Structures are given as structure tokens and as C-alpha cells.
């Protein structure tokens, strides 16, 4: 030990030792919590995870849920069925009459349109219109592109029966809406 340590009073040494022990315990608890979080991320995706991703607007489709839906065809089919059963509106694969991209998707109660922004050519408006103002209002749009993970976007508050999203033209959700092979759900 150094001479400085030897000059410290016994009481102060005991307080310092106690403080170091407490800091060490905090470090151990933090490590234990981080290990628990890592272990939770390793558990398989189950029905509750899919249901939460489908119906709860605050639950994002990312990380392990996105990976599982992208890489497990059965889980993806189950998720699609869940979206059909719980959704307010379902937009199936569009007819393959043309090869061009779609700027409009139509369903009994809703119309989804993509319109260019006049202010910025790299941006578009995604407009979701309620055809019947008394219809139940969705809180999110979920796209199931033919390849890749599903995409979920929370909808803003509707103004005059219209939800309006300003997005970059190349965002995955915009590309999915325009791809006739994609399926869409309003939740």
C-alpha cells in the first residue's frame, strides 16, 4: 500500500471499502439485468409477440420479430392470418393486369393513394381515406411485401376522414404499397 493509504484514518478506510462494495453490487445487478434482457431476446417469437405486433400501435415490428417473420414462412403465414382476422381492412395482392407500380389501393371502406409532394420531388404523401366517415378508424398500416420483413407505420390523427403521411419516395412502406404483390392491413 502507498503511504497515502496508510495516512487515511481507519473510519474513512471502512467508509471507502463500504462504498466500493456497494458500487460492486450495483455493477453485478446491472450485469444481471443486461443478461436477462439478452436472454429475453433469444426466446422464440410466439403468438403473443405476433398479436402485440399486429394490434398494438406502440409495438414495432423490428429486431427478433422482424427477423422471425422474414425467415420463417409458417410464422409469416400465421401473422398474415392474424392481420386478416384482427384488421379493420385487408388489401390482398393486386391483380397482375399491369406491370407498373400502383399509386392507389382500394378496399370497400378505405382508399390508399400515393401522391407526389410539390415541395420536394423525393417525397410523397401516403393518403388513407375513409370512404365511410362512420367507419372504425385504424391506428396503423402494416405492409407484407413479397420479400423481407413486414413494415408497420403508426397513422396520425385523421383530418376530414383522411390520414396523411409525408414520406420519402424510396421508403420501404411506400415501395410496398406500390408493389402489387404486397398485402396491406389497416389495424
**pLDDT of 84-113, one tens digit each?**
999 999 999 987 666 677 899 998 889 999
pLDDT at 14: 83
pLDDT at 3: 59
Is pLDDT at 37 greater than 80 in this prediction? no
pLDDT at 187: 93
pLDDT at 132: 84
Check if the beta carbon of residue 117 is closer than 8 Å to that of residue 124: yes
pLDDT at 36: 65
Q: Across the beta sheet with 151-154, what order do the strands follow?
A: 89-91, 183-186, 140-144, 151-154
pLDDT at 121: 93
Instruction: Give CA–CA dist 54/79, Å, rounded.
Output: 8
Give mean pLDDT, residues 141-159: 94
* pLDDT tens profile 45-69: 888 999 999 999 889 998 889 999 9
pLDDT at 25: 79
Q: What percent of the chain has pLDDT over 70?
A: 90
Is pLDDT at 1 greater than 60 in this prediction? no
Which alpha helices (DSSP H) does the chain contain, by range?
A: 3-7, 10-42, 47-55, 63-71, 73-86, 172-178
pLDDT at 32: 75
Q: What percent of the chain has pLDDT over 90?
A: 60
Is pLDDT at 7 greater than 70 in this prediction? yes
Return the C-alpha cell found at 167: 414520406
Amino acid at each position: 500500500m502507498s503511504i497515502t493509504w496508510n495516512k487515511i484514518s481507519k473510519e474513512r478506510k471502512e467508509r471507502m471499502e463500504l462504498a466500493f462494495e456497494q458500487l460492486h453490487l450495483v455493477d453485478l445487478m446491472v450485469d444481471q439485468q443486461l443478461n436477462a434482457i439478452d436472454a429475453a431476446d433469444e426466446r422464440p417469437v410466439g403468438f403473443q409477440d405476433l398479436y402485440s405486433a399486429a394490434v398494438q400501435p406502440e409495438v414495432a415490428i423490428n429486431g427478433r420479430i422482424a427477423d422471425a417473420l422474414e425467415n420463417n414462412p409458417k410464422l409469416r403465414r400465421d401473422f398474415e392470418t392474424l392481420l386478416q382476422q384482427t384488421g379493420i381492412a385487408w388489401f390482398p395482392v393486386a391483380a397482375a393486369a399491369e406491370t407498373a407500380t400502383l399509386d392507389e389501393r382500394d378496399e370497400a371502406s378505405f382508399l390508399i393513394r400515393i401522391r407526389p409532394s410539390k415541395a420536394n420531388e423525393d417525397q410523397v404523401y401516403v393518403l388513407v381515406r375513409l370512404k365511410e366517415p362512420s367507419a372504425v378508424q385504424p391506428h396503423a398500416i402494416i405492409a407484407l411485401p413479397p420479400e423481407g420483413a413486414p413494415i408497420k407505420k403508426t397513422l396520425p390523427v385523421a383530418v376530414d376522414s383522411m390520414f396523411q403521411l409525408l414520406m420519402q419516395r424510396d421508403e420501404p412502406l411506400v415501395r410496398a404499397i406500390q408493389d402489387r404483390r404486397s398485402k396491406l392491413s389497416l389495424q
